[in-house]
Amino acid sequence: MTQLRTRIDELIKTEPVTLFMKGTPQLIMCGNSERALRALREAGAPVTAVDIMPDPQIRQELSALSGWPTIPQVFVGGELIGGADIVQELAETGELEQKLLESLGEGYRGRAVEKTVTV
């Protein structure tokens, strides 16, 4: 594994909810990243955002790791949940909240902190 891939892998496994996106929650650069972030926020998820745009290697290593070709990508408890379409669909059916509850435990909404990290 490259150093970058190891770093991404560690992040996915240690952060409760990781969103790989184009831009940051403060400056979103893509409509799909915006849809995913909105769905996560509405479900009260503690989002750890990673901007993939500073270095093309980030996207390459991430997709090699996840086997998922597009951005955004959302991970909960180390598991790939999907891209914007799936996260939005799960949010609409209530399954996203259910998954967050199972992974993070009761009262996760009150503890939700949004942050942006670099890899």
Residues making contact with other proteins (CB under 8 A): 32, 67-70, 80-86, 89-90
Closest among 13, 31, 32, 112 to 72, alpha carbons compared: 32
Closer CB to other proteins, 69 or 107, in the complex: 69
Task: In angstroms, give the least distance from the CB of 69 to other proteins.
Answer: 5
**Spatial contact of 98 and 45, defined as CB atoms under 8 Å apart:** no
Residues in a beta bridge with 14? none
Residue 24 identity (one-letter amino acid): T
Closer CB to other proteins, 48 or 88, in the complex: 88
Task: In angstroms, give the least distance from the CB of 103 to other proteins.
Answer: 15
Task: In angstroms, give the least distance from the CB of 20 to other proteins.
Answer: 15
Closer CB to other proteins, 76 or 112, in the complex: 76
In three-state secondary structure terms, 72 is: coil
Closer CB to other proteins, 3 or 93, in the complex: 93
**Spatial contact of 25 and 40, defined as CB atoms under 8 Å apart:** no
Task: In angstroms, give the least distance from the CB of 3 to other proteins.
Answer: 25
Alpha-carbon separation of residue 118 from 4, 91, 100 (angstroms): 11, 26, 23
